[in-house]
């Protein structure tokens, strides 16, 4: 397994880096946050990303995509993590594109995938129902009534749920809470009667929403995949999502580390640069070592997605665990090494700590993935 980028992948990473530094630096994130942009991202920037082909990276070529793979997508997310770039790429280009590609019927693929590629629609996955990640703890009910289903229940932490033009909702058509069987995925128009969407304010300004469904009527034609078989699709797609968000977390930690190194080289205390203090050098060396291990874990997981490896689930948990652990360590250390100013809004480093605290909980925190990795490795 190669743990380095090939020429095409490196070129995509370089293009993403140059584009984001020019068009979406951290000042762009601050502007979106401070103006309380209702959409949560800049529409023009998103159109530019779509024009660059980013929304179609995981979409097969027959549906207008580029099928470039998760290594390429991961490279983009790493650069976005460095700039804290707000966009619907994760919810649409990873979650939506993967769900419809892996679970959609031919007509659903032909209808929705080209629209994802050209930016006509954005999507959101509504699966979580508590403050802890679980694909089986689903109580949202879908009761069959003739050719339709009546859906009722509540979803939390729906990433980009307030701005999506298509919701993909996990509901229970059989079994009981805690069962992976009996889960069905539905494609739902957020404007449907009975859908209530409440935008939530996350500490890191990431876009998310709470969504309630009160007797929402959905046609059986809007089932994604087969009835009672949604968990299989969900597990595959969430593995992909964990890998993509791990790449973003790697970028987040890398930038926090670079900001800290720069500060160590300019801040003086008692007449000396604090970067000359051996204790701080040791702590910086530990951060560097952990970042290098995280890079290897993330690239290995991206390759596992592209190769459709039988070991993907284990590699996804390894990447998410390591990225979460490293991001937590590096952002903590970054703020501490900056001293009191590290927690002020004037300095960017505090923004990375806030982002780290939210991303580490998306689709399972480090503790969850450590346990999952151990179970999959038969420890």
pLDDT at 84: 98
* 3-class state of residue 211 by DSSP: strand
**CA distances from residue 84 to 31, 33, 147, 315 in whole angstroms, order as listed:** 12, 11, 44, 25
Residue 2 has pLDDT above 70, yes or no: no
Contact (CB, 8 A) for 134 and 90: no
**Domain coordinates in residue numbering, the chain:** 7-121, 124-228, 232-376
pLDDT at 71: 97
pLDDT in tens, 360-379: 999 999 999 999 999 999 98
Exposure on the CB side of residue 367, measured as CA atoms within 13 A = 3
Considering the four listed CATH numbers 1.20.140.10, 1.10.10.10, 1.10.540.10, 1.10.3720.10, the one that applies to the domain covering 232-376 is: 1.20.140.10
How far from 149 is each of 49, 84, 126, 127, 141, CA to CA, in Å? 36, 39, 17, 17, 9
pLDDT at 80 over 80: yes
Q: At what angle do helices 230-264 and 312-338 cross, to 10 degrees?
A: 30
Each residue's pLDDT tens digit, 253-282:
999 999 999 999 999 888 899 999 999 999
Percent pLDDT > 70 in the chain is 99
Does the predicted TM-score (pTM) go above 0.85?
yes
Domain 124-228 indexed as CATH 2.40.110.10:
yes
- Residue 85, judged by CB atoms within 10 A of its CB (0-12, 13-18, 19+), counts as buried
Pairing state of beta strands 183-188 and 223-224? antiparallel
Q: What would the two tokens of residue 303 be?
A: 């390759």
CB 171 within 8 A of CB 151: yes
Which pLDDT belongs to residue 1? 59
CATH class for the domain made up of 7-121: mainly alpha
- Residue 291 tokens read as 């970042």
Strands (E), the chain: 123-126, 141-145, 148-159, 166-172, 183-188, 195-201, 207-219, 223-224, 268-269, 272-273
Average pLDDT over residues 50-59: 98
The per-residue pLDDT for range 291-301, each reduced to its tens digit, is 999 999 999 99
């Amino acid at each position: 397994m190669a743990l380095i980028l090939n020429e095409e992948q490196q070129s995509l990473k370089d293009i993403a880096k140059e584009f984001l530094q020019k068009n979406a630096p951290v000042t762009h994130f601050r502007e979106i946050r401070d103006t309380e942009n209702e959409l949560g991202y800049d529409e023009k920037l998103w159109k530019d990303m779509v024009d660059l082909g980013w929304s179609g990276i995981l979409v097969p070529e027959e549906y207008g995509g580029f099928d470039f793979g998760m290594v390429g997508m991961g490279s983009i997310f790493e650069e976005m993590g460095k700039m804290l770039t707000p966009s619907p790429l994760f919810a649409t280009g990873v979650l939506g594109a993967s769900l419809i590609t892996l679970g959609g019927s031919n007509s659903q693929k032909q209808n929705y995938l080209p629209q994802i590629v050209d930016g006509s629609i954005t999507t959101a996955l509504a699966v979580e129902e508590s403050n802890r990640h679980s694909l089986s703890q689903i109580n949202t009910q879908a009761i069959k009534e003739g050719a339709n289903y009546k859906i009722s229940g509540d979803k939390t932490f729906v990433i980009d749920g307030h701005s999506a033009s298509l919701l993909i909702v996990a509901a229970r058509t059989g079994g009981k809470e805690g069962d992976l069987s009996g889960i069905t995925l539905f494609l739902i128009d957020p404007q449907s009667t009975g859908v209530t969407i409440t935008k939530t304010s996350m500490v890191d300004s990431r876009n998310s929403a709470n969504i309630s469904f009160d007797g929402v009527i959905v046609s059986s034609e809007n089932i994604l995949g087969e009835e009672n078989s949604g968990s299989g699709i969900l597990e595959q797609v969430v593995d992909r999502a964990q890998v993509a968000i791990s790449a973003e977390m790697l970028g987040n930690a890398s930038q926090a580390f670079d900001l800290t190194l720069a500060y160590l080289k300019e801040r003086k205390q008692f007449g000396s640069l604090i970067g000359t203090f051996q204790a701080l050098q040791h702590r910086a060396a530990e951060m560097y070592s952990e970042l290098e291990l995280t890079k290897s874990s993330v690239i290995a997981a991206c390759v596992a997605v592209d190769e459709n490896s039988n070991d993907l689930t284990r590699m996804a948990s390894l990447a998410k665990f390591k990225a979460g652990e490293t991001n937590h360590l590096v952002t903590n250390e970054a703020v501490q090494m900056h001293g009191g100013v590290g927690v002020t809004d004037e300095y960017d480093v505090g923004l990375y700590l806030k982002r780290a605290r939210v991303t580490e909980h998306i689709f399972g925190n480090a503790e969850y993935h450590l346990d999952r990795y151990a179970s999959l490795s038969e420890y």
